[in-house]
Amino acid sequence: MNINQDTICAIATAQGGAIGIIRVSGPQAIEYTAEIFHPFQKNINLLEQKPYTLTFGKIINDKNDELDDVLVALYRAPHSYTGEDSTEIMCHGSTYILQQVMQLLIHKGCRTAMPGEYTQRAFLNGKMDLSQAEAVADLIASSSAATHRLAMNQMKGGFSNELKELRNKLLHITSLLELELDFSDHEELEFADRSELKQLADQIERVISKLTNSFNVGNVIKNGIPVAIIGETNAGKSTLLNALLHQEKAIVSDIHGTTRDVIEDTINIDGITFRFIDTAGIRQTNDTIENMGIERTYQQMEQADIILWIIDCTDTLVRLHEIRNQVLHRCENAQLVLLFNKADLVSDKVKEMLLEDVSDIHSKKLFISAKHHDNLPQVEELLVKLAALPEITQNDIIVTNIRHYEALTRALDSIHRVQEGMSLNLSGDLISEDLRQCIYELSDIVGEVTTDEVLGTIFANFCVGK
C-alpha cells in the first residue's frame, strides 16, 4: 500500500491539557476537515481558504449536534510539515471531544496515522533527509540543554551538510578514477593525480574519524553519564540515591541486603544528565538471590564512567582492606570517588583514621551525610567536574545515533582500504570499489539508499502524532 495515497489523522497532543490538537494530512485533508467543520463567518469556505490561515468555527457531527468550538489551521502542499495538504484542528482538550472528532474524520475517509507517519511522509516527500527526521524524535526526547542543541543542529541539517560535503569529495575522486577505466586502452592516460587523491583521502579519513570518535561524547550526552553507587550493605547507598533524586526511589532499611537488584534513575545537574545506578551491597552471603545482585554490581562497575564508593564511617568493622580487592581492579576504567557517609556521627579523629586507611587509593574523597544532605551540593559539583563534557554549541556536529555511528564506522573501514590501496599502488578499479562503498555508507545515513525495513524500524519508535 502506498501510504501517501491515504489521508491520515491523529491526536498530536498529550492527554489532560486544556487544548487538544488533531493533525490531518493527505490528498483529502482539507476536504474531509471541511465536511465536519462549519466556520462562524457564513462567507468563508475552508476549501477556498489561503494557506497559513486560522479559521474559527464549530465541529458538527452527523446528527447535526454541535460538538465543540475550534480553530482550524490550513496548510497547502508542498508548504507543510509533511509536504501534503494538511489541517490542524485545535479544540478543547477533553478526551471525549478529541475521540469524537477522530471518529468523524475516520467516518469521512481518514485512517488513523501510524507511529511516526507524519515525519515519514515528510522524509518521503523530500522535506527532510533521514538523519533530520531521526533528529525530530531526539528533539522530542531531549531532556537537557546539550541534547536539545545537538538535536536542533541535526534537524536543521548541520550533520547532513557535513556528509554532503564528504560525499561530493568522494564522488570527485571516484569519477576521475572511473574515467581512467573508460580509457584503459591508453595506459599512459592518468586523469587522477595520485598524490592529490591521497591528500584528499587523508582529509576525508580525518573528518570521518572525528565524527566516529564524537559518538563517545554524543552517547553520554544523549543517554546520560553512568554513575554506579557501590559499597557494603547498609552503608547508605539507597539513601544517597534518594537524596540526589529528591524522591524515595529506593527502599531504605536497617536490614542488610535490602537492595538485591540494580535500581536506575536519571537526574539533570547543570545541564548534564547523570544515570545513577544503585547496586546491591557487597558482602559475603549464602543467599543465592543476593549473590546474583552482587554479581550485577560488579558488572555495573565495569560499565560505569564514575563510581561512588560509599563507606560507613560508624561501622567499626568496616572491611575496607577486605573488599578493596573486589572493588579497585573493577574501577580501572572509571573515575572513583570515596564518599564517607554518616560523617556527622563520628569525630575528627575517626575521620583522620579513615583517610589514613585509604591514603594509597588515588581518588576524590569527601565526608557526607546522605540522610541529612550534608555536603550533597559538593557531591553534585564534583560529578559535574568529573563529567568534563565539552561545551556544546548548536554548530557542533556530534554523533548521537547508533545507526549513524555504525554506518560511519563502515565508511571509515572503506576509506582505510582506499588509503592502503593507494600506498600499494593498486589499480584504479579496486580503489574505486572501496570509494563507492564509502559513498554508500554515507548515503545510507541520510536515507538515499535505505530500505523500507529500515524505515519501518526507525519511524516505529516515534509517537503517533509526529
pLDDT tens per residue, range 185-204: 545 545 456 777 888 889 99
- pLDDT-derived band of residue 249, with 50, 70 and 90 as boundaries? low
Q: What is the pLDDT of residue 11?
A: 96
Type of residue found at 61: N
Q: State the distance between the two ends of the chain, measured CA to CA, in whole angstroms.
A: 20
Q: What is the pLDDT of residue 261?
A: 44
Question: What string of H, E and C letters represents the secondary structure of 132-174?
Answer: HHHHHHHHHHCCCHHHHHHHHHHHCCHHHHHHHHHHHHHHHHH
For 229, 348, 361, 373, 397, the CA distances from 354, given in Å and listed in that order, are 19, 10, 12, 21, 46
Q: How many CA atoms lie within 13 A of 195 on its CB side?
A: 0
Type of residue found at 346: V
Type of residue found at 110: C
Q: What average pLDDT does the segment 301-310 reach?
A: 86
From-to residues of CATH 3.30.1360.120 in the chain? 3-127
| Per-residue pLDDT at 253 exceeds 60 | no
Task: Give the whole-angstrom CA distance, residue 400 versus residue 405.
Answer: 8
For 235-244, 362-371, 378-387, which range has the lowest pLDDT when averaged over its residues?
235-244
**Alpha carbon 136 to chain centroid, angstroms:** 10
Q: What is the pLDDT of residue 255?
A: 40
Phi/psi of residue 337, nearest 5 degrees: -130, 125
Please tell me the class of the 135-219+401-447 domain.
Answer: mainly alpha
| Residues 303-341 as b or e (16 or more Cβ within 10 Å = b) | ebbbbbbbbbbeeeebebeebbebbeebbeebbbbbbbb
Instruction: Tell me which CATH code domain 224-387 carries.
Output: 3.40.50.300
Task: Give the whole-angstrom CA distance, residue 108 versus residue 195.
Answer: 66
| Per-residue pLDDT at 433 exceeds 60 | yes
Architecture of domain 3-127: 2-Layer Sandwich (3.30)
Of residues 156 and 56, more confidently modeled: 56
Task: Give the whole-angstrom CA distance, residue 88 versus residue 412.
Answer: 44
For 160-164, 232-236, 258-262, 414-418, which range has the lowest pLDDT when averaged over its residues?
258-262
* Interacting residues of 175 by C-beta distance below 8 A, sequence separation 6+: none
| Per-residue pLDDT at 331 exceeds 60 | yes
Per 3-state DSSP, the chain is made up of helix, strand and coil in percentages (nearest 5) of 50, 20, 35
| CB contact at 8 A, 317 and 284 | no
* Nearest alpha-carbon partner for 312 in 339, 336, 294: 339
Phi/psi of residue 46, nearest 5 degrees: -60, -35
Q: How many CA atoms lie within 13 A of 32 on its CB side?
A: 28
* Nearest alpha-carbon partner for 458 in 153, 136, 134: 134
From-to residues of CATH 3.40.50.300 in the chain? 224-387
Sign of CA dihedral 165, 171, 169, 390: positive
Q: What average pLDDT does the segment 171-175 reach?
A: 80
| Per-residue pLDDT at 459 exceeds 90 | no
- pLDDT-derived band of residue 395, with 50, 70 and 90 as boundaries? confident
Task: Give the whole-angstrom CA distance, residue 266 versus residue 258.
Answer: 21
Q: What is the pLDDT of residue 66?
A: 93
Type of residue found at 239: T
Task: Give the whole-angstrom CA distance, residue 166 versus residue 172.
Answer: 10
* Interacting residues of 437 by C-beta distance below 8 A, sequence separation 6+: 410, 411, 414
**Residue 38, SS3?**
strand
Q: What is the number of other CB atoms lying within 10 angstroms of the CB of residue 40? A: 10
Of residues 233 and 286, more confidently modeled: 233
- The pLDDT tens digits of the residues spanning 334-363 come to 899 999 999 999 999 989 988 888 888 888
- pLDDT-derived band of residue 248, with 50, 70 and 90 as boundaries? low
Type of residue found at 299: Q
* Nearest alpha-carbon partner for 19 in 87, 82, 70, 78: 70
